[in-house]
């Protein structure tokens, strides 16, 4: 498979580091000059852009957290006026306000370049017919993949997510050769393909799948690869940094090559904030290099993984992020939507007849993540007639839908059935097995 940008992707590590440093210095100067929030922060810490002389010096800069993005909602951290911003996306379902991100024309070009590289690494060429089954909208997945694949010259079918039977029909009728969506959706599609009596070898032309946006295990990969008779690669990114495109696997499938000329990644101990030893697991902290609309310093992703700098058989020299192990916070990603237990709590506690005891049970049923909220009713309510209980259940489902944007199941349970805790309550029971 050809390497999309061999000058960058096969650059010796030493040279790449020099390149990163040069871009980092420029980024810090640019951000300091254009974002008041950072200028104030650096001034109060008595750090000047010129103080960053080596890549290690980045540790003199403050971290940026998701909370700070929220506090500056919606456009407070933008470094460019709206006349230069050509696209806005937002991160899905976060507590309270979502985080809003913006792109200039150059940012979109940079993003498309990142996607073109990882899609090429995952086997896509201009001969391909690519079915994008990521949602198109505020979510960065659909549009992100779209423009990168267009850059490669693939024929894109922008079908977006949902209506699974139709997805399969399109796949069959249009001869899709590449599938792009979340791994859980791909696995669900595998089941529907079977139910519809479609033979993935005879009836479909799929060869490759580019999957990402949520954690997935090797066994899910195997399920998708066997079910569709394809090679499935993993790719990683997050809206705050750019969206998908931070890193992606090549066909060796041994970690996601980082677009190191655009992203400087540190791995820290989430407790101390210090760098972990090379190759150790920690929280990924990302600084985009050269982004115009929303340049961030040291963004705390809360994603846990480690970085492998060893040589890859594909010939690329860039370091690789290994599979994301989990998150430092309690965010749940259900069907691609970010959900925090605190959002659920917020809704429940406002409803009459509900006791402040609940539990969130996450399962993977038929390869789809489901979330069930077990809610204790209070004594009066439970002794009441059935009709009222059914109504209450419906009300909770609706209120949760309003808050979360997805439908979750609600189960009312008798008073005092949910285990009480002496210490921290265990609100989430996650029965999904991620090996």
Binding region for ligand ADP (CB under 6 A):
91-92, 139-140, 212-215, 234-239, 301, 303, 324, 327, 336, 338
Tell me how far, at minimum, the Cβ of 172 lies from ligand ADP, in Å: 27
Tell me how far, at minimum, the Cβ of 164 lies from ligand ADP, in Å: 19
116 binds, among Zn ion, ligand ADP, none (CB under 5 to 8 A by kind): none
Tell me how far, at minimum, the Cβ of 298 lies from ligand ADP, in Å: 15
Output 10 or 34, the one with its CB closest to Zn ion: 10
301 binds, among ligand ADP, Zn ion, none (CB under 5 to 8 A by kind): ligand ADP
Q: Residue 52 has what DSSP assignment?
A: -
Does residue 23 belong to the site contacting Zn ion (CB under 5 A)?
Answer: no
Share in percent of the chain as helix, strand, coil (round to 5): 35, 25, 40
Query: CA–CA separation, 324 vs 327, rounded Å?
Result: 8
The closest of 163, 90, 174 to 133, measured between CA atoms, is 163
316 binds, among Zn ion, ligand ADP, none (CB under 5 to 8 A by kind): Zn ion
Rg (CA), the chain: 23
Output 78 or 211, the one with its CB closest to ligand ADP: 211
Tell me how far, at minimum, the Cβ of 148 lies from Zn ion, in Å: 18
Query: CA–CA separation, 127 vs 105, rounded Å?
Result: 27
With beta carbons less than 8 A apart as the criterion, state whether 58 and 298 touch. yes
Tell me how far, at minimum, the Cβ of 312 lies from Zn ion, in Å: 3
363 binds, among Zn ion, ligand ADP, none (CB under 5 to 8 A by kind): none
Q: What angle do CA 312, 313, 317 make, to 5 degrees?
A: 40
Q: Residue 123 has what DSSP assignment?
A: T
282 binds, among ligand ADP, Zn ion, none (CB under 5 to 8 A by kind): none
181 binds, among Zn ion, ligand ADP, none (CB under 5 to 8 A by kind): none
Tell me how far, at minimum, the Cβ of 328 lies from ligand ADP, in Å: 10
312 binds, among ligand ADP, Zn ion, none (CB under 5 to 8 A by kind): Zn ion
3-state class (DSSP) for residue 341: helix
Does residue 335 belong to the site contacting Zn ion (CB under 5 A)?
Answer: no
Query: CA–CA separation, 185 vs 210, rounded Å?
Result: 12
Exactly one of 250, 293, 334, 348 binds Zn ion (CB under 5 A); that residue is 250
Residue 248: beta bridge partners? 235, 257
Tell me how far, at minimum, the Cβ of 117 lies from ligand ADP, in Å: 15
Output 266 or 303, the one with its CB closest to ligand ADP: 303
CA within 13 Å, CB half, 364: 17
Taking CA atoms, 194 is separated from 199, 221, 251, in Å, by 7, 17, 26
Output 52 or 230, the one with its CB closest to ligand ADP: 230
Peptide bond into 375 cis (omega under 30): no
Query: CA–CA separation, 34 vs 80, rounded Å?
Result: 7
- Letters for 301-330 (x = contact with Zn ion by CB under 5 A, - = none) are -----------x-x-x--------------
Output 148 or 200, the one with its CB closest to ligand ADP: 148
Taking CA atoms, 293 is separated from 48, 91, 102, 321, 413, in Å, by 21, 16, 6, 25, 49
Residues of this chain that bind Zn ion (CB under 5 A):
250, 252, 312, 314, 316
């Amino acid at each position: 498979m050809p390497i999309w940008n061999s000058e960058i992707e096969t650059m010796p590590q030493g040279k790449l580091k020099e390149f990163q440093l040069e871009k980092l210095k420029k980024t810090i100067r640019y951000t300091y000059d254009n974002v008041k929030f950072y200028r104030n922060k650096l001034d109060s810490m008595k750090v000047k852009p010129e103080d960053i002389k080596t890549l290690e010096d980045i540790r003199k800069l403050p971290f940026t957290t998701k909370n700070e993005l929220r506090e500056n909602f919606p456009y407070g951290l933008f470094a460019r006026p709206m006349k230069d911003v050509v696209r806005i996306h937002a991160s899905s379902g976060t507590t309270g306000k979502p985080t809003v991100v913006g792109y200039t024309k150059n940012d979109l070009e940079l993003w498309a370049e990142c996607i073109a590289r990882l899609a090429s690494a995952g086997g896509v060429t201009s001969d391909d017919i690519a079915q994008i089954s990521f949602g198109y909208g505020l979510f960065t997945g659909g549009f992100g993949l779209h423009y990168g694949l267009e850059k490669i010259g693939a024929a894109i079918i922008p079908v977006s997510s949902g209506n699974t039977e139709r997805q399969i029909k399109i796949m069959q009728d249009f001869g899709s050769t590449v599938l792009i969506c979340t791994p859980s959706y791909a696995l669900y599609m595998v089941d529907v393909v079977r139910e519809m009596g479609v033979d993935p070898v005879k009836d479909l032309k799929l060869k490759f799948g580019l999957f990402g946006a949520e954690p997935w295990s090797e066994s899910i990969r195997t399920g998708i690869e066997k079910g569709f008779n394809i090679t499935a690669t993993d790719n990683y990114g997050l809206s705050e940094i750019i969206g998908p495109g931070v890193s992606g696997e090549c066909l060796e499938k041994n970690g996601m090559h980082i677009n190191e000329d655009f992203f400087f990644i540190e791995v820290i101990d989430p407790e101390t904030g210090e760098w972990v030893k090379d190759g150790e697991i920690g929280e990924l902290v990302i600084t985009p290099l050269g982004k115009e609309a929303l340049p961030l310093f040291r963004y705390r992703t809360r994603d846990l993984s480690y970085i492998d700098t060893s040589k890859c058989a594909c010939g690329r020299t860039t370091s690789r992020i290994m599979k994301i192990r989990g998150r430092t916070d309690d965010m749940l990603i259900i069907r691609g939507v970010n959900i925090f237990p605190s959002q659920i709590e917020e809704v429940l506690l406002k409803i009459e007849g509900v006791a402040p005891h609940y539990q969130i049970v996450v399962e993977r049923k038929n390869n789809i993540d489901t979330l069930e909220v077990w809610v204790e009713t209070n004594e009066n309510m439970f002794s009441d007639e059935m009709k009222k209980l059914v109504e209450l259940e419906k009300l909770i489902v609706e209120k949760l839908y309003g808050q979360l944007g997805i439908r979750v199941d609600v189960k009312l349970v008798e008073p005092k059935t949910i285990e009480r805790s002496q210490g921290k309550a265990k609100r989430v029971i996650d029965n999904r097995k991620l090996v």
